[in-house]
Amino acid sequence: MRLFAFRTILKFFYRFVKTIFTLVKRAPLLLTLGFLLLVAGGITLYQYFPGKKETSVWDLVPGQTVLVYEADDCSECSYRADGSIIRRMFNNLLFDFPDSTKKDLEILSSPKKGNAISLHVTSKDDFDVIYYFPLAQEKQFETALNSWKEVKRIKFSERELNGVRIQEFNFDNRKFSCVQLEGIWVGSFTPFLLEDVIRTFTSDDKSNFTNEITEVYSLPRINGDPGNIFIHLKNFTSWLRIFPEGAIPFSNFGQASLLDIKNSEHSITLNGFSLTRKGEESLLSYFEQQSPVQFVLKRYISNRTIFAIDYGISDGSALYKNLTLSKNKNIQDTLANLAKVDFDKLFSSLGKEMSNCYLESRNGSVSKILLFETEKPQEWLSAFDQFSKAVEKEDTVFYEKYSTYEIREIEMNNFPGKLFHPLTSGFDQTYYTSIGNTIILSEQLEEIKQFVEDIDQENVWGKVVSFNKFLESTLLESNVSLYVNTPIIWNLLSHRLNPRWKSFIAENQYLLNGIELGAIQFGHLNESFYTNVTWSYSNEIAQPDQKIKQSD
C-alpha cells in the first residue's frame, strides 16, 4: 500500500514538472528549481512512507517504571510453575478475587509470548502493574473484553482522555481500565497508571522506560525461556521502600538489569547482566575495578544470621580510593587527630571479603556483625587499639578475655561507617576481636561473644549441608552478594513492615513458610556485572486451614 502511494505521488510530480517544462522552456531557472523540488519531495516521501516506525509495546512504557516482564514461549521448559508457590503468591498479590472472577481474568494472569507487564509504585506503601497486549494478541484481548461486557455482574463504562477512549470494567469493586493505542491494548487496575501510558504515547518528549535503560535494552536476549525481566535499578530501590518502616541501606544499586527466567520444581533463578551508568555513584560502581571472589567467610557466619551482605574485594587499594574515607577530608582529619594511621597502606592489606551479618537479638531487635579479611590482621588491630586509647573516656581501655578471644572496645559513634562507608554504617560503639586473618566487629558485647561462640561450636553456614548445596546453584564467585535465610526472616519482617504488608504476610504465611534460601549476586565481568538471583522453595506446604507452626 505504501509503495503504491509512493509511485502515485511520483507520477503526479513527473506530470507536473513536464507541464512546467512545456510552459517555461525559456525559463531554465524555474526548471532547475522544479527538478530540485521533485528530488527533495521524493526523498522526504520515501523516508516517511516506507520507513515509518511501527509503534511497539516499548514505546508506551512510562519512564518511572520499576521493571518490565516480557513473556516468552517456554514450550521446552522441564517444569511448569503453574502450581508453584511463586505462581500462587503472584495470584494472591495481584488477583485477590473470587474464583469466578479469577477465571474471567485468566488472560491477565497467564501472559503469552509477546505480552508484557510493567511494575509501578502507586503510593508510599503500595504498587500495581500495567498489562500490555501487542498487535499479535489484540484480537484475543478484544474477545475477552466482549465476554466481560456480556457478564451482568461486571459493570462497564467509558470515558475519554486526550481524545482517547478508555473502557472500564468493575470487577468486585476493583476497576480495570483499558485502552487501544495503534492496535496495542493496555490495561491496569489503577486508572492513573493507564493515564501515564496515554501521556507517554501522546507526548513529544520520549523519556520512556526504554530510553532510561537503553544500554540494557540493547543487550541480547535468550529465547525459549519463561521470559525476560528489565529492571530500572534506581526505581527498584524506590519500590523496596514501600515495604519497611524506615530507610533501606542503599539508594542506588546501579543503572539497569536484564535477567532471563529459569524455573525448576524447587527453585526460581534469574540470570543476566547489570550495568552502571558512567559517572553516576552506585553500589556496583564501587566494584568496577574488582574481580569476583569466592564466598569463604561462610565458615564464620553464624546460623542465627537472618541475612548477610558479602563484598568480594580483589584490590583493597582500589576500593579505598572509591570509599568516602579517601574523599572526605573532614573524616580523614577527625581520624588523623586520634591516631597516626596511613589508611592507603592499611587498606592495601584488606583481604578478599567483607560481610555485614544481620542477626535477631534476644530482645527482638536486630544486631549487626561486621567481618573482614586482611593479609595483615595485626596492623589493623594495632590501628584499632590506637583509636581505642584515643577515645577512651575512662583511665583504662576496655579489655575482656573471652575463651580464646581478646575483646576490646572503641567508644566512637559509627566507627565502621567512617572506615567503610557506604558499604556499612551504624554502631554506637564498636567491640572488636579477631580469628585468624579475620577481624570481627560488633555494636554489642554480648552479641560478639555469642557470635564467636557459634564459630567455636561450628554453628555456622559453612557447616550446614543444605546451605552449601544451595550455594552450588548460585555464583561461586561474586563482588556483591545478598544471602537470605528466608525461613527465619518472617518474624523479623512482621515487626518492621508497613501495616499493609504485615497483613499480607499474616494472610499468606502458609505459602511463605515454603520459601527457603535466597541469593542476589553481582560479579564484575568486563564492562558489566553478571547477575544471579536464586530462591529455593518447597511445594510441600500446609494449607490455609491447617495449623501453622509459629516461629520461636
Q: Which of 304, 330, 351 is nearest to 459 (CA)?
A: 304
Rounded Cα gap, residues 243 and 125, in angstroms = 6
Identify the pLDDT of residue 498: 87
As given in the structure block, the three cell numbers for residue 390 are 584515643
Residue 321 host element (H or E): helix 316-322
What confidence score (pLDDT) does residue 76 get? 53
Structure confidence at residue 188 (pLDDT): 97
Q: How far is CA 156 from the centre of its chain?
A: 36
Tell me the per-residue pLDDT of 195-241, one tens digit each, with 9 for 90 and over. 999 999 988 877 789 988 989 988 877 776 788 999 999 999 999 98
Question: What's residue 252's pLDDT?
Answer: 83
- The answer to whether the beta carbons of residues 429 and 411 sit under 8 Å apart is yes
Task: Give pLDDT < 70 ranges for the chain.
Answer: 1-53, 74-83, 224, 245-250, 394-395, 540-552
Instruction: Say how far apart CA 458 and CA 368 lie, in whole Å.
Output: 19
pLDDT for the residue 173: 87
Q: What was the pLDDT predicted at 3?
A: 38
- The residue whose grid cell reads 519512564 is 63
H helices present in 349-438, as ranges: 377-391, 415-420
Helix spans in 24-136 (H): 28-48, 85-94, 99-104, 106-109
Nearest to 499 by CA among 121, 245, 174: 245
Average pLDDT score over the chain: 86
d(CA 185, CA 142): 9
**Digit-coded pLDDT (tens) for 81-99:** 555 787 888 888 898 888 8
* Residue 164 CA neighbour count, 13 Å, CB half: 22
pLDDT tens string 235-247: 999 999 898 866 6
**CA–CA separation, 92 and 340 (whole Å):** 58
Q: Phi and psi (nearest 5°) for 98? A: -60, 160
What pLDDT was estimated at residue 551? Answer: 37
Taking Cα atoms as reference points, which of 520, 451, 544 lies closest to residue 240?
A: 520
User: 483 φ, ψ to 5°?
Assistant: -105, 130
pLDDT tens digits, one per residue of 489-523: 887 777 788 888 988 888 888 888 889 999 999 99
3-state SS, one letter per residue, for 267-315: EEEEEEEEECCCCCCCCHHHHCCCCCEECCHHHHCECCEEEEEEEECCC
